[in-house]
Amino acid sequence: MTIIRSLQALLLGAALSAPPPALAEPAPQRVVSLNLCTDQLAALLLPPARIAALSHLARDPELSYVADRIGGIPVTQGGAEELLHLAPDLVLAGKYTAQPAVRLAKAHHIPVVQVGLIADFDGIRAQVRTVAAALGESARGEELLADMDRRLAAAAPTDARRPTALSLAPGAFTSGAGTLTAAVMAAAGLANYAEAHGLKGYGYLTVEGIAADPPDLLIANTAPKDRPSLSGALIDHPALRRALPPDRRPQLAENLLGCGGPYTAAAVEALALARADWLAHHGKVAP
Protein backbone atom coordinates (compact mmCIF):
# COMPACT_ATOMS: atom_id res chain seq x y z
CA MET A 1 0.00 0.00 0.00
CA THR A 2 2.86 2.35 0.77
CA ILE A 3 4.17 2.04 -2.78
CA ILE A 4 0.71 2.60 -4.24
CA ARG A 5 0.14 5.67 -2.06
CA SER A 6 3.55 7.02 -3.02
CA LEU A 7 2.73 6.64 -6.72
CA GLN A 8 -0.61 8.32 -6.20
CA ALA A 9 1.09 11.22 -4.46
CA LEU A 10 3.61 11.58 -7.27
CA LEU A 11 0.88 11.57 -9.91
CA LEU A 12 -1.17 14.10 -7.99
CA GLY A 13 1.85 16.33 -7.55
CA ALA A 14 2.67 16.13 -11.24
CA ALA A 15 -0.90 17.03 -12.13
CA LEU A 16 -0.92 20.02 -9.79
CA SER A 17 2.45 21.30 -11.00
CA ALA A 18 1.75 20.83 -14.71
CA PRO A 19 1.16 24.05 -16.64
CA PRO A 20 -2.42 24.70 -17.70
CA PRO A 21 -3.31 23.58 -21.24
CA ALA A 22 -2.48 26.17 -23.85
CA LEU A 23 -5.44 28.20 -25.00
CA ALA A 24 -6.35 27.83 -28.66
CA GLU A 25 -5.20 30.66 -30.87
CA PRO A 26 -8.13 32.98 -31.64
CA ALA A 27 -9.43 32.65 -35.18
CA PRO A 28 -8.29 35.50 -37.45
CA GLN A 29 -10.86 38.27 -37.84
CA ARG A 30 -9.23 40.44 -40.55
CA VAL A 31 -8.12 38.13 -43.32
CA VAL A 32 -6.58 39.55 -46.48
CA SER A 33 -6.20 37.38 -49.59
CA LEU A 34 -3.72 38.41 -52.28
CA ASN A 35 -4.32 35.52 -54.67
CA LEU A 36 -7.30 34.47 -56.78
CA CYS A 37 -7.18 30.89 -55.53
CA THR A 38 -7.08 31.90 -51.87
CA ASP A 39 -9.79 34.50 -52.56
CA GLN A 40 -12.17 31.71 -53.44
CA LEU A 41 -11.29 29.56 -50.45
CA ALA A 42 -11.65 32.51 -48.09
CA ALA A 43 -15.05 33.37 -49.54
CA LEU A 44 -16.24 29.77 -49.14
CA LEU A 45 -14.86 29.30 -45.64
CA LEU A 46 -15.49 32.65 -43.95
CA PRO A 47 -18.35 35.05 -43.33
CA PRO A 48 -17.78 38.40 -45.10
CA ALA A 49 -17.27 40.20 -41.79
CA ARG A 50 -14.00 38.32 -41.26
CA ILE A 51 -12.54 39.20 -44.67
CA ALA A 52 -10.72 42.54 -44.76
CA ALA A 53 -10.02 42.30 -48.50
CA LEU A 54 -9.73 39.95 -51.45
CA SER A 55 -7.64 40.42 -54.57
CA HIS A 56 -9.20 42.49 -57.34
CA LEU A 57 -9.46 39.34 -59.47
CA ALA A 58 -12.12 37.97 -57.12
CA ARG A 59 -14.68 40.25 -58.79
CA ASP A 60 -14.01 38.99 -62.33
CA PRO A 61 -16.74 36.41 -63.08
CA GLU A 62 -14.71 34.88 -65.91
CA LEU A 63 -11.94 33.98 -63.47
CA SER A 64 -13.60 33.82 -60.06
CA TYR A 65 -16.15 31.22 -59.01
CA VAL A 66 -17.19 33.44 -56.09
CA ALA A 67 -17.56 36.72 -58.02
CA ASP A 68 -21.32 36.77 -57.52
CA ARG A 69 -21.20 36.17 -53.78
CA ILE A 70 -18.53 38.48 -52.41
CA GLY A 71 -20.86 41.48 -52.25
CA GLY A 72 -19.28 44.51 -50.66
CA ILE A 73 -16.05 42.86 -49.55
CA PRO A 74 -13.20 45.30 -50.33
CA VAL A 75 -10.62 44.36 -52.93
CA THR A 76 -6.91 45.06 -53.04
CA GLN A 77 -4.39 45.43 -55.83
CA GLY A 78 -1.86 43.58 -53.69
CA GLY A 79 0.46 46.49 -52.93
CA ALA A 80 2.68 46.31 -49.86
CA GLU A 81 1.64 49.65 -48.36
CA GLU A 82 -2.00 48.91 -49.07
CA LEU A 83 -1.67 45.65 -47.17
CA LEU A 84 -0.42 47.36 -44.01
CA HIS A 85 -3.26 49.87 -44.23
CA LEU A 86 -5.73 46.95 -44.18
CA ALA A 87 -4.25 45.79 -40.84
CA PRO A 88 -4.73 42.05 -41.41
CA ASP A 89 -4.24 39.42 -38.75
CA LEU A 90 -3.71 36.75 -41.44
CA VAL A 91 -2.59 36.98 -45.06
CA LEU A 92 -3.42 34.35 -47.67
CA ALA A 93 -1.22 34.37 -50.76
CA GLY A 94 0.19 32.33 -53.60
CA LYS A 95 3.78 31.17 -53.64
CA TYR A 96 4.69 33.35 -56.59
CA THR A 97 2.34 36.36 -56.55
CA ALA A 98 2.37 39.65 -54.60
CA GLN A 99 5.77 38.82 -53.16
CA PRO A 100 6.67 42.35 -51.97
CA ALA A 101 3.46 42.41 -49.92
CA VAL A 102 4.16 38.93 -48.57
CA ARG A 103 7.67 39.89 -47.52
CA LEU A 104 6.39 43.03 -45.81
CA ALA A 105 3.74 41.06 -43.94
CA LYS A 106 6.34 38.62 -42.68
CA ALA A 107 8.64 41.49 -41.67
CA HIS A 108 5.79 42.88 -39.56
CA HIS A 109 5.16 39.44 -38.03
CA ILE A 110 1.76 39.08 -39.67
CA PRO A 111 0.99 35.37 -40.19
CA VAL A 112 1.08 34.36 -43.85
CA VAL A 113 -0.28 31.18 -45.46
CA GLN A 114 0.97 30.58 -49.00
CA VAL A 115 -0.49 28.03 -51.39
CA GLY A 116 0.83 26.48 -54.59
CA LEU A 117 -0.67 25.14 -57.79
CA ILE A 118 -2.96 22.15 -57.48
CA ALA A 119 -2.60 19.17 -59.80
CA ASP A 120 -5.27 16.75 -58.54
CA PHE A 121 -8.12 16.23 -56.10
CA ASP A 122 -5.81 15.10 -53.31
CA GLY A 123 -4.12 18.47 -53.71
CA ILE A 124 -7.49 20.19 -53.37
CA ARG A 125 -8.22 18.26 -50.18
CA ALA A 126 -4.83 19.10 -48.67
CA GLN A 127 -5.04 22.78 -49.58
CA VAL A 128 -8.58 23.23 -48.28
CA ARG A 129 -7.59 21.62 -44.98
CA THR A 130 -4.48 23.78 -44.65
CA VAL A 131 -6.33 27.03 -45.29
CA ALA A 132 -9.36 26.02 -43.24
CA ALA A 133 -7.16 25.18 -40.25
CA ALA A 134 -5.38 28.55 -40.49
CA LEU A 135 -8.76 30.29 -40.53
CA GLY A 136 -10.09 28.29 -37.59
CA GLU A 137 -12.71 26.75 -39.87
CA SER A 138 -11.67 23.10 -40.13
CA ALA A 139 -15.23 21.85 -39.69
CA ARG A 140 -16.45 24.04 -42.54
CA GLY A 141 -13.57 22.80 -44.69
CA GLU A 142 -14.59 19.20 -44.10
CA GLU A 143 -18.18 20.05 -45.05
CA LEU A 144 -17.01 21.49 -48.36
CA LEU A 145 -14.82 18.47 -49.08
CA ALA A 146 -17.57 16.01 -48.18
CA ASP A 147 -19.88 17.74 -50.65
CA MET A 148 -17.15 17.69 -53.31
CA ASP A 149 -16.52 13.98 -52.81
CA ARG A 150 -20.25 13.21 -52.95
CA ARG A 151 -20.53 15.03 -56.27
CA LEU A 152 -17.42 13.31 -57.65
CA ALA A 153 -18.82 9.91 -56.74
CA ALA A 154 -22.14 10.70 -58.42
CA ALA A 155 -20.40 11.86 -61.61
CA ALA A 156 -17.94 8.96 -61.84
CA PRO A 157 -18.22 6.81 -64.99
CA THR A 158 -19.86 3.41 -64.67
CA ASP A 159 -18.06 1.78 -67.59
CA ALA A 160 -14.60 1.75 -69.16
CA ARG A 161 -15.35 3.80 -72.28
CA ARG A 162 -13.17 6.90 -72.49
CA PRO A 163 -13.86 9.44 -75.24
CA THR A 164 -10.85 11.66 -75.89
CA ALA A 165 -11.00 15.31 -74.87
CA LEU A 166 -8.69 18.25 -75.39
CA SER A 167 -8.73 21.41 -73.30
CA LEU A 168 -7.57 24.28 -75.49
CA ALA A 169 -6.88 27.87 -74.49
CA PRO A 170 -5.98 30.77 -76.80
CA GLY A 171 -2.72 30.14 -78.65
CA ALA A 172 -3.35 26.36 -78.65
CA PHE A 173 -2.16 26.23 -75.03
CA THR A 174 -3.25 23.04 -73.32
CA SER A 175 -2.91 20.78 -70.28
CA GLY A 176 -1.17 17.42 -70.35
CA ALA A 177 -0.32 14.84 -67.72
CA GLY A 178 0.01 15.94 -64.11
CA THR A 179 -2.37 18.89 -64.31
CA LEU A 180 -5.68 19.65 -62.64
CA THR A 181 -7.40 19.56 -66.02
CA ALA A 182 -6.12 16.03 -66.56
CA ALA A 183 -7.45 15.01 -63.15
CA VAL A 184 -10.85 16.53 -63.93
CA MET A 185 -11.03 14.70 -67.26
CA ALA A 186 -10.12 11.39 -65.64
CA ALA A 187 -12.75 11.86 -62.93
CA ALA A 188 -15.36 12.53 -65.63
CA GLY A 189 -14.43 9.42 -67.63
CA LEU A 190 -12.51 11.14 -70.43
CA ALA A 191 -9.06 10.42 -71.85
CA ASN A 192 -6.79 13.47 -72.05
CA TYR A 193 -5.86 13.92 -75.72
CA ALA A 194 -2.83 16.08 -74.89
CA GLU A 195 -1.49 13.49 -72.45
CA ALA A 196 -1.94 10.75 -75.05
CA HIS A 197 0.12 12.89 -77.43
CA GLY A 198 3.02 13.02 -75.00
CA LEU A 199 2.46 16.34 -73.26
CA LYS A 200 3.42 16.57 -69.59
CA GLY A 201 2.34 19.62 -67.65
CA TYR A 202 1.35 22.65 -69.71
CA GLY A 203 2.35 23.36 -73.27
CA TYR A 204 1.24 23.74 -76.86
CA LEU A 205 -0.12 21.60 -79.66
CA THR A 206 -0.36 22.68 -83.27
CA VAL A 207 -3.73 23.55 -84.76
CA GLU A 208 -2.78 21.56 -87.86
CA GLY A 209 -2.03 18.46 -85.80
CA ILE A 210 -5.27 18.72 -83.86
CA ALA A 211 -7.33 19.20 -87.02
CA ALA A 212 -5.66 16.23 -88.74
CA ASP A 213 -6.24 13.91 -85.77
CA PRO A 214 -9.03 15.50 -83.74
CA PRO A 215 -10.18 14.43 -80.28
CA ASP A 216 -13.76 13.39 -79.70
CA LEU A 217 -14.42 16.55 -77.68
CA LEU A 218 -12.82 20.00 -77.62
CA ILE A 219 -13.10 22.03 -74.42
CA ALA A 220 -12.17 25.47 -75.71
CA ASN A 221 -11.47 28.47 -73.51
CA THR A 222 -12.09 31.33 -75.90
CA ALA A 223 -10.77 34.85 -75.44
CA PRO A 224 -13.34 37.31 -74.03
CA LYS A 225 -15.30 39.05 -76.80
CA ASP A 226 -14.19 42.45 -75.55
CA ARG A 227 -10.53 41.39 -75.66
CA PRO A 228 -10.04 39.69 -79.05
CA SER A 229 -6.58 38.44 -79.96
CA LEU A 230 -4.79 36.53 -82.68
CA SER A 231 -4.06 33.71 -80.24
CA GLY A 232 -7.74 33.50 -79.35
CA ALA A 233 -8.70 33.41 -83.02
CA LEU A 234 -6.71 30.19 -83.46
CA ILE A 235 -9.43 28.26 -81.63
CA ASP A 236 -11.87 29.30 -84.37
CA HIS A 237 -9.47 28.34 -87.15
CA PRO A 238 -11.47 27.00 -90.13
CA ALA A 239 -9.68 23.66 -89.97
CA LEU A 240 -10.67 23.24 -86.32
CA ARG A 241 -14.25 24.30 -87.04
CA ARG A 242 -14.51 21.62 -89.70
CA ALA A 243 -12.91 18.91 -87.58
CA LEU A 244 -14.69 19.85 -84.36
CA PRO A 245 -18.14 21.36 -84.94
CA PRO A 246 -20.17 22.95 -82.11
CA ASP A 247 -21.76 19.67 -81.01
CA ARG A 248 -18.27 18.42 -80.12
CA ARG A 249 -17.34 21.52 -78.10
CA PRO A 250 -18.85 21.28 -74.62
CA GLN A 251 -19.02 24.52 -72.68
CA LEU A 252 -17.08 24.75 -69.44
CA ALA A 253 -16.77 27.90 -67.36
CA GLU A 254 -13.15 28.99 -67.11
CA ASN A 255 -13.57 29.82 -63.43
CA LEU A 256 -13.99 26.12 -62.60
CA LEU A 257 -10.46 25.17 -63.67
CA GLY A 258 -8.28 28.20 -63.03
CA CYS A 259 -7.93 27.31 -59.36
CA GLY A 260 -8.60 23.98 -57.71
CA GLY A 261 -11.25 23.99 -55.00
CA PRO A 262 -14.38 22.19 -53.85
CA TYR A 263 -16.22 23.83 -56.76
CA THR A 264 -14.02 21.89 -59.22
CA ALA A 265 -16.56 19.10 -58.80
CA ALA A 266 -18.83 21.19 -61.04
CA ALA A 267 -16.27 20.87 -63.85
CA VAL A 268 -16.34 17.09 -63.47
CA GLU A 269 -20.14 17.10 -63.55
CA ALA A 270 -20.20 19.19 -66.73
CA LEU A 271 -17.68 16.97 -68.51
CA ALA A 272 -19.44 13.81 -67.33
CA LEU A 273 -22.60 15.11 -69.01
CA ALA A 274 -20.61 15.90 -72.17
CA ARG A 275 -19.22 12.35 -72.12
CA ALA A 276 -22.69 10.85 -71.75
CA ASP A 277 -24.01 13.00 -74.61
CA TRP A 278 -21.11 11.99 -76.85
CA LEU A 279 -21.63 8.30 -76.15
CA ALA A 280 -25.36 8.62 -76.76
CA HIS A 281 -24.97 10.30 -80.16
CA HIS A 282 -21.71 9.00 -81.60
CA GLY A 283 -21.77 5.28 -80.95
CA LYS A 284 -19.26 3.13 -79.17
CA VAL A 285 -15.81 4.16 -78.05
CA ALA A 286 -13.11 1.51 -77.77
CA PRO A 287 -12.52 0.66 -74.09
Per-domain residue ranges of the chain:
31-152, 158-281
Query: What's this model's pTM, rounded to 2 decimal places?
Result: 0.86
**Residues 12-22 pLDDT 10s:** 344 434 445 44
Q: What pLDDT does 24 receive?
A: 61
- At 270, the pLDDT band (50, 70, 90 cuts) reads very high
Own/partner contacts of 43-51, CB < 8 Å, gap of 24 or more, are: 43/69, 43/70, 43/73, 44/144, 44/261, 44/262, 44/263, 45/131, 45/132, 45/135, 45/137, 45/140, 45/141, 45/144, 46/135, 46/137, 48/72, 48/73, 50/135
Report the C-alpha gap between 232 and 240 in whole angstroms.
13
Average pLDDT score over residue span 100-128? 97
Q: In what order do the strands lie in the sheet with 90-94?
A: 75-76, 51-55, 31-33, 90-94, 112-115
The yes-or-no verdict on residue 2 having pLDDT over 80 is: no
Q: What is the mean pLDDT of residues 6-30?
A: 55
Q: Which amino acid is at 278?
A: W
Q: What is the H or E stretch that residue 267 is in?
A: helix 264-281
Query: Which listed CATH number (3.40.50.1980, 2.40.110.10, 3.20.20.70, 3.20.20.140) goes with 31-152?
Result: 3.40.50.1980
Q: Which tens digit of pLDDT belongs to each residue from 190-217?
A: 999 999 999 999 999 999 999 999 999 9
Q: Is the pLDDT of residue 224 over 90?
A: no
DSSP secondary structure of 65-80: TTTTT-TT--EE---H
Phi and psi angles of residue 192, each rounded to the nearest 5 degrees, phi first? -75, 110
Q: What's the one-letter identity of residue 187?
A: A
pLDDT tens column, 161-178 = 999 999 998 778 999 999
Cα–Cα distance, 119 to 186 (Å, whole number): 12
Checking if the pLDDT of 89 tops 80, the result is yes
Identical fold for domains 31-152 and 158-281, yes or no, is yes
User: Over 80: is that where the pLDDT of 83 sits?
Assistant: yes
Hey, which CATH number is domain 158-281, 3.40.140.10, 3.30.1280.10, 3.90.226.10, 3.40.50.1980? 3.40.50.1980
